[in-house]
Amino acid sequence: MDRRQKKTRAAIFAAFSSLLAEKSYSKITVQEIIDAADVGRTTFYAHFETKEALLKALCEELFGHIISSAADCTHTHGLYSKSYAPESVFCHLLQHLQENEGNILGLLSGESSDIFMRYFKDSLSELIRVQYVPQKNQGNSAVPQDFLINHISGSFVETVLWWLKTKQKNTPEELDAYFRAVIEPIL
């Protein structure tokens, strides 16, 4: 993708995110996105076949970045310049969420949060499948791995929702400790 295409795509993402902060996904039209991004209809459709494709691409970019950053602890955004990177992938995720890059917390707590939570949970499930469960699930072979992954990712999503409702009063490190105290006995 050339620089012009990246710039157009970023403008469409920014316009869409801004509209999502104002109203429900279902009430946003492609025309509103086009107008807010200041692009033509043909340009919009050259990048995204539908509004749903735009939503999917936005979620993949936002959550994919956070999930891949958590999986690769060397990618820290300067979070740990004065301290060590956390051992817990969940703490790392919470710290990236706290940075709120791309207004991700606004999307997770906004009017269309159900849509974003589903994408977040799906991305998180893959991270847990690869990074967490194989290392930890040694004592509970009676529980199927896919059930366990679903349970952990669902619990983490609910933890993030609780954190948002309490206006992030707890630090990522505190929340991580709470979450792992509940999850690790299951494993």
What number is the average pLDDT over the span 158-166? Answer: 91
d(Cα 176, Cα 116) in Å, to the nearest integer?
A: 21
CA–CA–CA angle 125, 130, 135 (5° rounding)? 115
What per-residue confidence (pLDDT) applies to 74? Answer: 54
Reported pTM: 0.74
Asked if 9 and 1 count as a contact pair (C-beta separation under 8 A), the reply is: yes
What number is the average pLDDT over the span 161-179? Answer: 92
What number is the average pLDDT over the span 5-32? Answer: 91
Q: For residues 169 and 129, which has the higher predicted lDDT (pLDDT)?
A: 169
Q: For residues 131 and 90, which has the higher predicted lDDT (pLDDT)?
A: 90
pLDDT band at 164 (very low <50, low <70, confident <90, very high): confident
The answer to whether residue 30 scores a pLDDT higher than 90 is yes
Nearest CA to 73 out of 8, 152, 146, 127 is that of 127
Angstrom distances, CA of residue 123 to CA of 20, 107, 136, 167: 20, 15, 19, 24
Asked if 88 and 172 count as a contact pair (C-beta separation under 8 A), the reply is: no
What per-residue confidence (pLDDT) applies to 43? Answer: 96
DSSP state of 129: I
What per-residue confidence (pLDDT) applies to 77? Answer: 45
Give per-residue pLDDT as tens, 43-88. Answer: 999 999 999 999 889 888 877 776 776 666 554 444 433 444 446 7
Share of the chain above pLDDT 90, in %: 37
Asked if 54 and 16 count as a contact pair (C-beta separation under 8 A), the reply is: yes
Asked if 17 and 112 count as a contact pair (C-beta separation under 8 A), the reply is: no
